[in-house]
Copies of this chain bind each other. A is one copy, B any other.
Amino acid sequence: MITPELLNQFAAIVGESHAIRNPVEMAGYMKEQRDLWMGRSPLVLRPGSTNEISTIMKLATATKTPIIPQSGNTGLVGGGVPFETGNEVLLSLDRMTKILDVDAADNTMTVQAGAILKSVQDAAGNAGRLFPLSLASEGSCRIGGNLSTNAGGLNVLAYGNARDLCLGLEVVLPDGRIWDGLRKLRKDNTGYDLKNMFIGAEGTLGIITAAVLKLYPKPCTRETAFIALPSPQAAVDLLSLMREMSGNRVVAFELMPRIGMDFTVKHMAIADPLAERSPWYALGELADPPEGCFEKILEVALERGLVTDATLAQSETQRQALWNIREKMPESQKHEGGSIKHDVSVPVSKIPVFIAEATQAVNKFMPEARVMSFGHMGDGNMHFNVTQPVGMDKKKYLDCWNSMNTAVFAVVQKFGGSISAEHGIGRLKIGHMPEIKSAVELGMMRDLKRLYDPLNIMNPGKVVPL
């Protein structure tokens, strides 16, 4: 147990005005956003500097106090909230929001870990550059969390995951040492790559406190189309055609099933953009393509039977309207009752057979459940979500979460896929780690955890089962 004296010591590091002890005031830090968990903590610390975080971790090490780092608290696997024990101190990055430097000539920017993703994007935009990471929670998620979870989102196809957008890091280690790896270099082969160990580690090896990010030129033009397709295989073939015919200018390729359109039209006040119903849809986008490129691609695709109908955005307003369909789709599901979710990936070419077999597996498990498989097909990443049968009790349905997962994950593994393509492991999926990792790989991860965090005080109980 943490003594009141120790809490005072921790609070003194950040100053009493930045320490929260009142359960009502700290509720927002404790609640997992999908309502899966409500953590408990005696203290929320809101440090204002890397040095304060270092001092906190030194005290945590000296007293073996578990520390839970939290960024925007928008994660989807419970990695950023404490357990219910009340023995863990929460450390929030939400005061460390500075954009330290934007360098258009170098195409880099340096930011504190608590900077909100939207403000990072805006700072890049104001300098005439693009920071391409973009995801649903961008108005409230913070870049430190994006890096700690190796966030994906809508532009991975062209620009990669958060990992690929980072040149350098500053990290406070569990023992309080500060690693200054804030380099702006595109090439640096001087020893082991330390940066990538912390990216995607979900705060279990250290606390990311600042980062150097890559910037890109802003695309001058975009062509965006909403496309009706007969099947996922047609979507895979269309993506391949788009890549070849555009000179690799594809920046987004999202797949959506008819049931998703039905939900979205019904619940989200959105009109069907195409006249006829189609079993599948794709939203594709090209950046800076040769003029009229998308039109030519669609002509060839129509001839080949890959596409049955399509509409090309003729203005930015129309483009936003098409994207709005995709962006509203996840929310539409809530209106149909409970939903059991799978954020999975397989090699892109396996998407069609994965959807077919995973749907079969779900139907076998629960014939009336409604599969809605949509998402970032261009990255092989499907949000394979399953909506409850009409009329079933929601709670009773959600109680099947783990069994449904087991059925779907078996198909994922059959095709060499990942059971967490972009959301991470956190608390939600840690129990699956021994099933999906070899003994060698799990051993290597445990060794790394023990190396950096021998006392197991850094976000314990997340990601790697010890």
Contacts and interface: CB of A to CB of B under 8 A. Distances in A.
Given A196-B196, A216-B248, A440-B180, A463 B191 contact: yes
A380 B187 contact: yes
A131 to B, nearest CB: 14
Interface stretch (A111-119, A271-279, A442-450): A442-450
A217 B247 contact: yes
Contacts of A376: 187
Contacts of A451: 447-448, 451
| Tier of interface size on chain A | 35 or more
Given A440-B177, A440-B178, A440-B180, A187 B152 contact: yes
A181 interface: yes
A436 B183 CA distance: 13
Given A178-B440, A217-B247, A440-B180, A190 B420 contact: yes
Contact of A190 (B193, B243, B425): B425
| Top-4 shortest CB links A-B | A247-B288, A105-B349, A196-B196, A188-B418
Copies of this chain held together in the complex? 2
Interface stretch (A2-10, A14-22, A301-309, A340-348): A340-348
Where chain A touches its partner, the secondary structure class is loop
Interface in A263-305: 287-288, 290-291
A219 B183 CA distance: 31
A262 interface: no
A106 to B, nearest CB: 5
B161 A187 contact: yes
Interface of A: 103-108, 128, 149-150, 152, 156, 160-161, 163-164, 173, 177-181, 183-197, 199-201, 205, 216-217, 219-221, 236, 240, 243-244, 246-249, 287-288, 290-291, 345-350, 376, 379-381, 416-425, 429, 433, 436-438, 440-441, 443-445, 447-449, 451, 463-464
B184 A418 contact: no
A181 to B, nearest CB: 7
B190 A150 contact: no
B199 A345 contact: no
Which of A192, A346, A418 has its CB near the most chain B CB atoms (within 10 A)? Answer: A192
Nearest to A168: B416
Contacts of A179: 438, 440-441, 444
Nearest to A448: B192
A454 to B, nearest CB: 11
A227 to B, nearest CB: 19
5 contacts: A173-B440, A185-B380, A188-B345, A189-B424, A451-B451
A220 to B, nearest CB: 5
A252 to B, nearest CB: 13
Nearest to A150: B189
Contacts of A348: 105-107, 186
Given A189-B150, A420-B189, A425-B189, A441 B194 contact: yes
A441 B181 contact: yes
Nearest to A191: B445
A380 B193 CA distance: 19
A238 B274 CA distance: 45
B108 A347 contact: yes
Contacts of A104: 240
